[in-house]
C-alpha cells in the first residue's frame, strides 16, 4: 500500500479532498494519508474533520496529522500541495493593494497573483528539497498551490521534475459540457490549450466527432451553457472556442474592475471574514468530542462561500437561461450515457484520475500543467502550459496543437503572460525589484510602468516577513 501526503492540509478544502479519496483509495492502492500544515489550530479542525469522516466510514485508511513536513513526505509516493503562505489575511491585502491603485487584484490572474507568487515560491522550493530528499523514488508532486501555473513553472525552473500542475477549472469545462449534453464525462474528449487560468477548449469530441461547431451554432446552447455566463455571447461566437472563466478578467476588464471597486469588500476580504467567523464558531466545540457539530458548522460556512463565487466580479446575480434539451442540438452521436470511468470531483478528482490512469494504463485525457515539450509549436520547450494530456503508464503526454489550431490573438496573450511568469520567477530568484517591475509593466491587467513601481514597493513591504529585502 502506498502513502500520500497532503501539504497544506489545514485548508478548508481538505474535507472535500478526503471525501473523494474515501471513494477511490483502494483502487489506487493508497493505505496511508498524512495531512500536514504549519497552522496547528487549522490542522486540528480541518484535518480533524477529514479524519473523523474516515473514522466514521471505518475504511481502514490510516490517517495522521502533523506539522512536520519531513514526517509528511517521508516515503510518500504521491504528494499534493495546497499551500497558502500568509493565509487569508495576506490574500485579502494582496487584492486590496491593487484595488487601491485602481487595478484588478484577483489572487491568481490579477496583480494579487504576483504578490501571492513571490512569497509562495521560496516556500514551495523548500518543500521540493524535502520531497527530493525524503519521499519515495520517483514520487509525483501534484501542485494545486496557487497561482498554480506560475508556481509550477518556478519549480521546474528550479530544477525539480515530476511535478504536475493541477486545477479543477480546466476539467470543469469537460464536466459542464457533459452535464449539458446529459452524457458521462468519460464519453467526451475536450482539447484544452493555454496556461493555467488562461486557456481555451477548441475541440469537443464525442465518438470521435468534433461537436463543438454544432454546439456553438445553437443559440440555446450558447445562451444557457454554464461556462459562457461570464462572457458577452457575441464574443463567444467570435472566439469559436470555450474560454476558461478566468479570461473574464481580460475580455471584460473594465466591467470586472468597476464591479470590484463598487463592492463593499473584495473576494479575499469576504473569504477572510467567512473563514474567521467559521473558526470562531468551531472554537466553541471540541473537535474530538463534538465532530458532528464541527462538521455542520463547516458545511454551513462552505455553502455560503461557494454560493458567492464570482458574484462580485459579475456585479449582479446572473439569471441562467433554460438549458437546451440535448435532443434539440441535432447531434446524432448523443445516444445516451456510457458507464462512468472517470472521477470529476474538484482538484481531488484530477489527482485521482491521473493516478488511476497511470497505474492501470487507462490512457484518459486530462488537462494539466506540464512543460510544453513541443505541444504548442510557438511556445518554448520549458514553458509550463496547461494542455490536454493523455495519461498512461508513462505519465502525462501532452497532445499536439498545430499552428492553425491556435488563434494568433490567443497565442500573443499566452506568450505575454508566460513572459510575465518567467520574469516573476527571475525576480524571486534574484530578489530583484527591477525584474518585478518589468513583469508587472507588461502584464495586461497592469500595463503601466508607474503603477508597476507602486505595486512592487507595496508588495515588497507587505511580504517582507516572507521574502526579506529586495533591491
- As a whole-number percent, the residues of the chain with pLDDT over 70 amount to 95
**Which residues span the domain enclosing 160?**
2-85+104-165
pLDDT digits (tens, 9 = 90+) for 320-361: 677 888 888 888 777 555 555 555 566 788 899 999 999 999
Same domain, 159 and 283: no
Q: What is the largest CA-CA distance in the chain?
A: 62
| Predicted local distance difference test score (pLDDT) of residue 394 | 92
Domain annotation covers residue 193: no
Residues 118 and 11 in one domain: yes
Helices H / strands E in the chain, number of each: 21, 13
Task: Confirm if 175 and 344 have CB atoms less than 8 A apart.
Answer: yes
Higher pLDDT, 319 or 391: 391
For residue 147, whether the previous peptide bond is cis, meaning omega lies within 30 degrees of 0, is yes
Contact 355, 28 (CB under 8 A): yes
* Residue 75 resides in a domain: yes
Tell me whether residue 238 is in a domain.
Answer: no
Over residues 28-62, the pLDDT tens digits come to 999 999 999 999 999 999 999 988 988 887 778 99
Asked which of 251, 285, 314 is the last residue of a domain, the reply is 314
Q: Can you give the pLDDT at residue 343?
A: 54
Lowest mean pLDDT across 77-86, 119-128, 162-171, 418-427? 162-171
Number of domains in the chain: 2
Q: For residue 29, what is the domain's CATH number?
A: 3.40.50.720
Tell me if residue 62 falls in helix, strand or coil. strand
Q: Are residues 8 and 149 in the same domain?
A: yes
Q: Is residue 231 part of a domain?
A: no
The verdict on pTM exceeding 0.85 is: yes
For 405, the grid coordinates are 489550431
Say what the pLDDT of residue 80 is. 97
Same domain for 7 and 132, yes or no, is yes
- Tell whether the model's pLDDT for residue 424 goes beyond 90: yes
pLDDT of residue 226: 87
Query: Same domain, yes or no, for 159 and 274?
Result: no
In a domain, 63, yes or no: yes
For residue 48, give the 3-state DSSP assignment: helix
**pLDDT exceeds cutoff 90 at 470:** yes
222 occurs within a structural domain: no
Which whole number is the average pLDDT over 118-142? 98
What confidence score (pLDDT) does residue 344 get?
A: 56
Q: Return the number of other C-beta atoms located less than 10 Å from residue 222's C-beta.
A: 18
pLDDT tens digits, residue range 48-98? 998 898 888 777 899 999 999 999 999 999 999 999 999 999 999 999 999
Mean pLDDT, the chain, rounded, equals: 93
Cα separation, 442 vs 439, in Å, equals 6
Domain stop point among 137, 165, 193:
165
Distance of CA 170 to the CA centre of its chain: 8
| Dist. CA 269–CA 305, nearest whole Å | 12
- Clarify whether residues 24 and 146 are in a common domain: yes
pLDDT of 341 reads 53
Which of 282, 314, 346 delimits the end of a domain? 314
Residue that the C-alpha cell 500542475 belongs to = 165
Write the pLDDT tens digit of every residue in 176-212: 999 899 888 888 999 999 999 999 999 999 989 999 9
Please check whether residue 377 lies inside any domain of the structure.
no
Burial class from Cβ neighbours inside 10 Å (0-12, 13-18, 19+) for residue 170 reads buried
pLDDT in tens, 337-346: 555 555 556 6
pLDDT (0 to 100) of residue 317:
57
Lookup: cell for 37: 500544515
Inside any domain, residue 112? yes
Give the pLDDT confidence of 210-268 residue by residue, as tens digits. 999 999 999 999 999 988 999 999 999 999 999 999 999 999 999 999 999 999 999 99
Q: Both 283 and 155 in a single domain? A: no
| C-alpha span between 214 and 221 (Å, rounded) | 10
Please indicate, yes or no, whether residues 155 and 276 belong to a single structural domain of this protein. no
Residue 387 pLDDT greater than 80, yes or no: yes
Amino acid at each position: 500500500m502506498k502513502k500520500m501526503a497532503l501539504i497544506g492540509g489545514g485548508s478548508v478544502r481538505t474535507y472535500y479532498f478526503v471525501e473523494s479519496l474515501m471513494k477511490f483509495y483502494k483502487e489506487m492502492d493508497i493505505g496511508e494519508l498524512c495531512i500536514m500544515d504549519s497552522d496547528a489550530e487549522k490542522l486540528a479542525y480541518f484535518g480533524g474533520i477529514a479524519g473523523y469522516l474516515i473514522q466514521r466510514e471505518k475504511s481502514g485508511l490510516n490517517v495522521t496529522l502533523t506539522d512536520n513536513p519531513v514526517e509528511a513526505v517521508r516515503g510518500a509516493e504521491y504528494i499534493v500541495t495546497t499551500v497558502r503562505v500568509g493565509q487569508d489575511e495576506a490574500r485579502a491585502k494582496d487584492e486590496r493593494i491593487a484595488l487601491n491603485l485602481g487595478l484588478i487584484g484577483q489572487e491568481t490572474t490579477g496583480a494579487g497573483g504576483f504578490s501571492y507568487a513571490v512569497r509562495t515560491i521560496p516556500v514551495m522550493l523548500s518543500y521540493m528539497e524535502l520531497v527530493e530528499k525524503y519521499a519515495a523514488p520517483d514520487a509525483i508532486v501534484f501542485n494545486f498551490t496557487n497561482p498554480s501555473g506560475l508556481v509550477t513553472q518556478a519549480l521546474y525552473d528550479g530544477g525539480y521534475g515530476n511535478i504536475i500542475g493541477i486545477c479543477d477549472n480546466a476539467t470543469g469545462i469537460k464536466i459542464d459540457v457533459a452535464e449539458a449534453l446529459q452524457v458521462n464525462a468519460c464519453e467526451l474528449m475536450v482539447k484544452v490549450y493555454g496556461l493555467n487560468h488562461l486557456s481555451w477548449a477548441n475541440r469537443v469530441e464525442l465518438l470521435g466527432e468534433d461537436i463543438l461547431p454544432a454546439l456553438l451554432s445553437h443559440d440555446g446552447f450558447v445562451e444557457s451553457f454554464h461556462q459562457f455566463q461570464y462572457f458577452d455571447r457575441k464574443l463567444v461566437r467570435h472566439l469559436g472556442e470555450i474560454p476558461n472563466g478566468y479570461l473574464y478578467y481580460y475580455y471584460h476588464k473594465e466591467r470586472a474592475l468597476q464591479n470590484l471597486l463598487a463592492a463593499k469588500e473584495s473576494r479575499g476580504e469576504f473569504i477572510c471574514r467567512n473563514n474567521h467567523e467559521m473558526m470562531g464558531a468551531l472554537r466553541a466545540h471540541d473537535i474530538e468530542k463534538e465532530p458532528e457539530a464541527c462538521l455542520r458548522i463547516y458545511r454551513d460556512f462552505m455553502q455560503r462561500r461557494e454560493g458567492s463565487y464570482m458574484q462580485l466580479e459579475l456585479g449582479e446575480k446572473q439569471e441562467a437561461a433554460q438549458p437546451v434539451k440535448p435532443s434539440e442540438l441535432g447531434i446524432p452521436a448523443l445516444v445516451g450515457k456510457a458507464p462512468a470511468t472517470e472521477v470529476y470531483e474538484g482538484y481531488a478528482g484530477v489527482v485521482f484520475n491521473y493516478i488511476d490512469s497511470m497505474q492501470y494504463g487507462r490512457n484518459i485525457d486530462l488537462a494539466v500543467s506540464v512543460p510544453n515539450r513541443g505541444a504548442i509549436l510557438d511556445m518554448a520547450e520549458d514553458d509550463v502550459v496547461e494542455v490536454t494530456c493523455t495519461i498512461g503508464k508513462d505519465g502525462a503526454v501532452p497532445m499536439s496543437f498545430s499552428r492553425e489550431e491556435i488563434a494568433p490573438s490567443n497565442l500573443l496573450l499566452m506568450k505575454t503572460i508566460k513572459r510575465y511568469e518567467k520574469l516573476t520567477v527571475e525576480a524571486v530568484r534574484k530578489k530583484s525589484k527591477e525584474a518585478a517591475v518589468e513583469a508587472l509593466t507588461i502584464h495586461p491587467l497592469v500595463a503601466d510602468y508607474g503603477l508597476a513601481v507602486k505595486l512592487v514597493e507595496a508588495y515588497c513591504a507587505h511580504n517582507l516577513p516572507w521574502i526579506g529585502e529586495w533591491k
